[in-house]
Chains A and B, each alone.
Chain A
Amino acid sequence: MTSAALERVFREASGRIVAALASRFRDLDLAEDSFADACARALEAWSREGPPRDAAAWLYQTAYRCAVDSLRRRRTEHRFAPELQREIEHPMPDEWTPIPDERLRLIFVCCHPAVAPDARAALTLRLVCGLSTREIARAFLLSEPTLAQRLIRAKRKIAEAGVPFEVPGPQAWPERLDAVLSTIEIAYGRAHEDAAGSGPHSNYAAEMLDITRVLAELLPHEAEPSAMAAIVRFAEARRPARVDAQGMMIPLADQDPASWTESLVAAARDYLDRAVSLHPLLPRVLQARIHAAWCARRSLAESPPWSQILALYDELLKVRDDAIVRLNRAVALAEVESVAAGLAEIEALAAQPFDDFLPYHAVRADLLRRAGRSDEARIAYDAALALVATSAERLWLERQRALLTE
């Protein structure tokens, strides 16, 4: 096995095994460390004898044994710990024991409201998706030690505060499920920002497909997890069309539907159908429907579905009235009604909290340019360019600014 193939086996097995161990031993560090030990042993054993038939099962058994060994060592170190006795007497899994799927529990632990919001997404990516601290740090534009520190603090909080390893009952879902879905949105937002998909985030867009599938499968009677799974698939389907040959971002309305990934669009539609049948007007379901409206376009010859998009944003505004929704609605309004109407909507949003919000400046600059207000547009483009993080977007903004007449 090549080391890349090994990496893949480890990563694919990681979430399930860490979740099963964490849930069994109620100890995140123990679960993580034992899985790392098992991987180290696998490197050694498999290079001698080749990989076993079921690599994941091998890793699970080995990690489980490592966990029990660590508990034994702890018991010797602290002689008075009768509560550890119970754990150790638990029967060892054998080759035929299926790895229990406890990922949903683990997701709810990582996204518990008692965990600092800025740590939830990172912790989920680390424990459930098996990404390395380095990968996550790069995606969140943080130094590795800073991110590692944040993860340590979050894990300590979970252990010390007594966060249960349970999926909360449905009565707690409005709050708890929302924390989970927001976390996934943040995590996916990081993946999606990188339009070219070749940057540091490319690896984990795939993980997002996986985690949203797990969540939708495990909560089949909730609309929003299915809607999330649809959103991620629609967005990933369009990834190949998001930059041109020069690496410049292509706005949604100019993307060639021929280069969208059809299989992902189809999968997204299945999830969306389920979500709509459960609850068509929840915020994330409406967002998924907006994606679906875009992805229904078959070629550039077909005009973009702006009036449908505007109608959906009107619905969304009724259930989620925030600045981002209003900004997106203004873009659609500018297309359906007039540039002036879109611009009026944007100017009605107080500019103050948007100083650091790139989409605000980018949208405003575009509309000002189209309204022929070049001087103001130039200032707005400069504000946007000062905030832009990806080269694809920078190239696009620079080109738009160059279109301005003196």
Chain B
Amino acid sequence: MQYMLLIYEDERIYGPDRDNPAARERRAQHIAYSRELGATRLAGSGLKDSSAATTIRAAAGKQTIHDGPFAESREQLAGYYLIDVPDLDAALAVARKVPLSQDGAVEIRPLLAPG
């Protein structure tokens, strides 16, 4: 099964330009982690700060463009992995090792298409 691992973190610790020591260290961890995952990882990337986000909202069929992320909250979608594993337990085992701040979350979502 294919699962999306959605990483939510308080992005303020990395600064707006993602270039402070904390951000560099985290990036190195993700690179090492991706290498470890090998063929299990189908895709994945970090995302730029949510201040770089633009959101299209549809209300009653009418679309409007907004500055900012879908939801304003302390924790923002900070990156994702797309993985291919046999089942949820295997996905959980992979997700548990995702480099993560002290406070953060990894949401594990199966893909609709079996792929």
Which of A's residues lie within 8 Å of B, judged by CB? 112, 114, 160-164, 166, 168, 172
Contacts and interface: CB of A to CB of B under 8 A. Distances in A.
Contacts of A168: 89
25 contacts: A112-B88, A114-B88, A114-B92, A160-B110, A161-B88, A161-B108, A161-B110, A162-B1, A162-B3, A162-B87, A162-B88, A162-B91, A162-B110, A163-B87, A163-B88, A163-B89, A164-B86, A164-B87, A164-B88, A164-B89, A164-B90, A166-B87, A166-B89, A168-B89, A172-B89
Nearest to B3: A162
Nearest to A163: B88
Interface in B64-115: 86-92, 108, 110
Interface residues of B, number: 11
Interface in B13-41: none
Contacts of A161: 88, 108, 110
Nearest to A169: B89
Q: Which 5 A-B pairs have the closest CB atoms?
A: A164-B87, A162-B88, A162-B1, A162-B87, A163-B88
Contacts of B110: 160-162
A87 to B, nearest CB: 16
Interface of A is mostly: loop
Interface of B: 1, 3, 86-92, 108, 110
Given A163-B89, A164-B90, 19 more contacts: A112-B88, A114-B92, A161-B88, A161-B108, A161-B110, A162-B1, A162-B3, A162-B87, A162-B88, A162-B91, A162-B110, A163-B87, A163-B88, A164-B86, A164-B87, A164-B88, A166-B87, A166-B89, A172-B89
A264 B108 CA distance: 45
Nearest to A171: B93
A162 B85 CA distance: 10
Contacts of B1: 162
A133 B101 CA distance: 43
A162 B1 CA distance: 8
Contacts of A114: 88, 92
A204 B89 CA distance: 31
Nearest to B114: A83
Contacts of A164: 86-90
Contacts of A160: 110
Contacts of A172: 89
A160 B1 CA distance: 10
B81 to A, nearest CB: 16
A163 B110 CA distance: 11
Contacts of A163: 87-89
Nearest to A168: B89
B15 to A, nearest CB: 35
Nearest to A83: B114
A168 B91 CA distance: 13
Nearest to A172: B89
A163 B89 CA distance: 7
Contacts of B3: 162
A168 B87 CA distance: 12
A166 B3 CA distance: 19
B93 to A, nearest CB: 8
A172 B88 CA distance: 13
Nearest to B93: A172
With most chain A CB atoms within 10 A of its CB, the pick from B1, B89, B91, B110 is B89
A3 B35 CA distance: 63
B12 to A, nearest CB: 30
Contacts of A166: 87, 89
